[in-house]
C-alpha cells in the first residue's frame, strides 16, 4: 500500500486555542509508526497562523483554501475531490492518532481485502493547560467495550439505530466517494448518514478491537 493512503484534515481555526489543537494533531501524525502516506489539508476559513503551523510541522502536504466556511461536509467533499490514492483516512483538527493507528489499520486491510471501511475504537480526552502547554488531563473510555461491533454483521445490525463508529478513526476506499458524498444538510451527523448509505450500497465494514484514536471532548481546557 505504499503511497496508496491519504490523510485528510479539515481545519477551521478562529483563535490561538484552535491553532494549538491543530498543532497537537499534526504532531500525532508525525509520530506514526507508518509514514508512507500523503497529507491533504483543507483550510476552512482559517487564520494565517494556522497555515504557518502546517508548514512548520509537516515536511510535505497539499492544501486547499476556503475563505468562507460553508459546512464540514463541503470541506470534506472538496478535499476528497483532490485525492487519488486507493485509501483515505481522516484526522479531525482537534484530535490525535495514537502512534500505531495507521500501521495497524493497514495491516488489517492487507489481510482482509473484502473490507471497504475500517474503524477503530477510541478514547474521550479531557484537556488542561499546564505552564502554557496543552496536555491531556484524562483519557476516558467510551460506552463501547473493545470487543463490541467488530464484524460487518455486528456493525450492520446496530448502525441504523446508533452510530457505533468514530469518524476520525475511519480508513476507507477512496472510490466510495465517486458514488457517495457527504450531505451538508445532515449537520452534526453527516458521518453517520454516510455510513448508513454505504451499508445500503453493500460496502463492507469492520472495526479494530483497540482504542487508537483520541477524540477531544472539551474544546476549552481546564487551566
pLDDT single digits (tens) 40-75: 999 999 999 999 999 999 999 999 999 999 999 999
Chain mean pLDDT for the chain: 91
Q: What percent of the chain lies above the pLDDT cut of 70?
A: 91
The band of 205, judged by pLDDT with boundaries at 50, 70 and 90, is very high
26 has pLDDT over 80: yes
In this structure, is residue 79 part of a structural domain?
Answer: yes
In this structure, is residue 60 part of a structural domain?
Answer: yes
What is the average per-residue pLDDT within 184-213?
96
176 has pLDDT over 70: yes
In this structure, is residue 221 part of a structural domain?
Answer: no
In this structure, is residue 222 part of a structural domain?
Answer: no
In this structure, is residue 157 part of a structural domain?
Answer: yes
Q: What percent of the chain lies above the pLDDT cut of 90?
A: 80
**Helices 72-81, 190-200: inter-axial angle, 10-degree rounding:** 50
| Domain enclosing residue 43, as ranges | 5-216
In the chain, how many domains are there? Answer: 1
Q: Are 45 and 69 in contact (CB under 8 A)?
A: yes
Question: What is the CATH classification number for the domain harbouring 53?
Answer: 3.90.550.10
In this structure, is residue 223 part of a structural domain?
Answer: no
141 has pLDDT over 90: no
In angstroms, what is the C-alpha Rg of the chain? 17
C-alpha 67/C-alpha 153 separation (Å) is: 42
Higher-pLDDT residue of 220 and 8 is 8
In this structure, is residue 122 part of a structural domain?
Answer: yes
Query: Residues 150, 152, 154, 157: what is their CA dihedral angle, to the nearest 10 degrees?
Result: 150
Q: Which residues contact 223 (CB under 8 A, 6 or more apart)?
A: 128, 129
Query: What would the grid cell of residue 153 be?
Result: 454483521
Amino acid at each position: 500500500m505504499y503511497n496508496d493512503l491519504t490523510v485528510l484534515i479539515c481545519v477551521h481555526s478562529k483563535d490561538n486555542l484552535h491553532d494549538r489543537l491543530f498543532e497537537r494533531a499534526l504532531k500525532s501524525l508525525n509520530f506514526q509508526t507508518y509514514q508512507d502516506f500523503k497529507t491533504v489539508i483543507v483550510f476552512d476559513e482559517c487564520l494565517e497562523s494556522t497555515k504557518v503551523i502546517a508548514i512548520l510541522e509537516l515536511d510535505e502536504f497539499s492544501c486547499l483554501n476556503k475563505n468562507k466556511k460553508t459546512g464540514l461536509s463541503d470541506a470534506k467533499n472538496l478535499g476528497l475531490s483532490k485525492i487519488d490514492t486507493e485509501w483515505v483516512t481522516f484526522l479531525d483538527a482537534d484530535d490525535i492518532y495514537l502512534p500505531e493507528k495507521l500501521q495497524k489499520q493497514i495491516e488489517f486491510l492487507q489481510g482482509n481485502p473484502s473490507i471497504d471501511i475500517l474503524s477503530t475504537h477510541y478514547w474521550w480526552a479531557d484537556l488542561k493547560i499546564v505552564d502554557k502547554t496543552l496536555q491531556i488531563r484524562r483519557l476516558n473510555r467510551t460506552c463501547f467495550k473493545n470487543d463490541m461491533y467488530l464484524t460487518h454483521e455486528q456493525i450492520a445490525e446496530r448502525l441504523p439505530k446508533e452510530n457505533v463508529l468514530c469518524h476520525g478513526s475511519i480508513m476507507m476506499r477512496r472510490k466510495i466517494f465517486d458514488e457517495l458524498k457527504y450531505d451538508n444538510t445532515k449537520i452534526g451527523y453527516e458521518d453517520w448518514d454516510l455510513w448508513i448509505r454505504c451499508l445500503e450500497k453493500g460496502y463492507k465494514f469492520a472495526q479494530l478491537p483497540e482504542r487508537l484514536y483520541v477524540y477531544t471532548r472539551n474544546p476549552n481546557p481546564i487551566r
